[in-house]
Amino acid sequence: MASLSVILGSGFSKPAGLPLVKEINSYFERDNAENILKFSSGEFMWIDFANDTYRHNGRIGYDHLAYGILLNEFAKQYVDENKEFTNYEDFYQFVIDNLYNEVKVEDLKQKSISSFDEHFPKIKDGQFYKNYVHAIHHFQPREFRSMINHLIGDLLYVRKTKEEIEQLYQCFIDFYKEYDSIDIITLNHDLLLEYLIKNFLNKEYSDGFMKDQKILRSSDGETLNLFQDVFSKVINIIKLHGSIDMYRYAIANEEGSIIKPTGEYLYFKTHDYDEKQKPIRHDPITGEVVQRFHWEIDPQFITGTRKEEIISQPGIYKTLYEESEKRLMECKTLLIIGYSFGEEHVNKLIQKTIEESEVLETIINVNPSKELPFETKEIEIHHIKDIQELTKLKNN
């Protein structure tokens, strides 16, 4: 059986119009005073991608302007300490590390009020001024972190047509058809890979999530797509750093009106608004409802500079990492696309596979500039600059 393992980095999604680091940086570096939409559901969105309905609904309340100003001022704090806006993941980590720093937050609030007054002098003199700046005076760290997650996620949706995607990735699709077994380890949070498999390969895939369970249901009683660590199809997708359609359910004991989180979590995938907002936990044996309260609506993916630390801790990300290691050790061909070798924990996976695998024969590295930075002994190496060259490689 021809077996293929794949590691995908952000360069894989670039042809589909999804942004690389510098492009994501540009959204956080600009003046965002009027670029943030905030919804009553607790979700956020860039105004850039919103239709008229979302633009209207995201500006019904007062807080959207305040959050745009707060984002501006947090970015300025980051630049002041780092000389420049180096990387959105570094900025994310800076935010996380300082959300509860009383000195920095107080400075943030004072500068945000001044900036708000400069941006919106008419609002300052109006009767609803206190409403507009309430989110600044009563800064909520968790909500600000949620905003950053939603805004990063909003940049990662495929917005090209099906015809455009097919043309851009046809050679990639054809290359996949040559293999009987494919394990794909992707560092990307977007849904491009799932889109390609569903629409053009016409094959089922496993991603560790299944609806065959009795624990988590929607408010309508439908079972949710819960992570159960099952990878059993011809194509298996391991999203090592999470996904924009993955959500976390914090397990808690409900005692009347008192909620006591246990520190344990379930993870589920959905595109449905109600499933995301209103999942209900059941006793798997009795079927009894044991938890109705749910407060986690942020898309779950790892970003920042501490991925390796997160992956080393017990939980879903460690499980996915260990599964990745197992799959790589079993492959004959390793295809790496659009990965710049900047993640040490991923480099360790590749290095271990090269050094210890008894079956690995070929490595194909698709990257316009980065060659494979590992010694490979007798393994056959191909370095190509674009996925379009996969066709030539297949014919050879």
Per-residue pLDDT reduced to its tens digit, 113-152? 999 999 999 999 999 999 999 999 999 999 999 999 999 9
The pLDDT-based confidence of 231 (bands split at 50, 70, 90) is very high
Q: How many residues does the chain have?
A: 396
Residue 138: predicted pLDDT? 97
Q: Is residue 296 pLDDT above 60, yes or no?
A: yes
Residue 127: predicted pLDDT? 94
Task: Say how far apart CA 350 and CA 232 lie, in whole Å.
Answer: 23
- When pLDDT is averaged across residues 247-262 and rounded to a whole number, the result is 92
Q: Give the ranges where 120-235 is alpha helix by DSSP (H).
A: 121-124, 129-132, 134-137, 141-154, 162-176, 192-196
Task: Say how far apart CA 202 and CA 147 lie, in whole Å.
Answer: 35
Strands, E assignment, the chain: 3-8, 36-38, 44-46, 181-186, 205-206, 208-210, 216-217, 225-230, 235-239, 246-255, 258-269, 280-282, 289-291, 333-337, 362-366, 380-384
Task: Say how far apart CA 187 and CA 205 lie, in whole Å.
Answer: 17
Task: Say how far apart CA 359 and CA 281 lie, in whole Å.
Answer: 43
- CATH code linked to domain 1-18+160-396: 3.40.50.1220
- When pLDDT is averaged across residues 90-107 and rounded to a whole number, the result is 96
Residue 119: predicted pLDDT? 97
* Contact between 86 and 305 (Cβ < 8 Å): no
All structural domains of the chain with their residue ranges = 1-18+160-396, 21-154
Q: Select from 153, 109, 131, 117 the least CA-distant residue to 61.
A: 131
3-class DSSP state for residue 269?
A: strand
Q: Is residue 358 pLDDT above 70, yes or no?
A: yes
The pLDDT-based confidence of 390 (bands split at 50, 70, 90) is confident
- Which amino acid, residue 382? H
Question: Around Cβ 60, how many Cβ atoms within 10 Å?
Answer: 11
Residue 394: predicted pLDDT? 66
- When pLDDT is averaged across residues 342-359 and rounded to a whole number, the result is 96
Per DSSP bridges, beta strands 333-337 and 3-8 are: parallel
Q: Select from 154, 177, 157, 301 the least CA-distant residue to 239.
A: 301
Q: Which of the residue ranges 12-26, 93-107, 376-390 would you say has the lowest mean pLDDT?
A: 376-390
Distance of CA 368 to the CA centre of its chain: 24
Q: Is residue 395 pLDDT above 80, yes or no?
A: no
> Contacts from 282-286 at CB under 8 Å and sequence distance 24+?
282/214, 282/215, 282/216, 282/217, 284/213, 284/214, 284/215
Q: From residue 195, how far is each of 59, 161, 219, 243, 366 by CA, in Å? A: 31, 11, 27, 13, 21
The pLDDT-based confidence of 354 (bands split at 50, 70, 90) is very high
Read off the pTM. Answer: 0.94
Task: Say how far apart CA 93 and CA 148 lie, in whole Å.
Answer: 11
* Contact between 27 and 151 (Cβ < 8 Å): yes
The pLDDT-based confidence of 45 (bands split at 50, 70, 90) is very high
- When pLDDT is averaged across residues 77-91 and rounded to a whole number, the result is 95
Question: Around Cβ 246, how many Cβ atoms within 10 Å?
Answer: 21
Mean pLDDT of the chain: 95
Q: Select from 155, 156, 135, 153 the least CA-distant residue to 71.
A: 135
The pLDDT-based confidence of 327 (bands split at 50, 70, 90) is very high
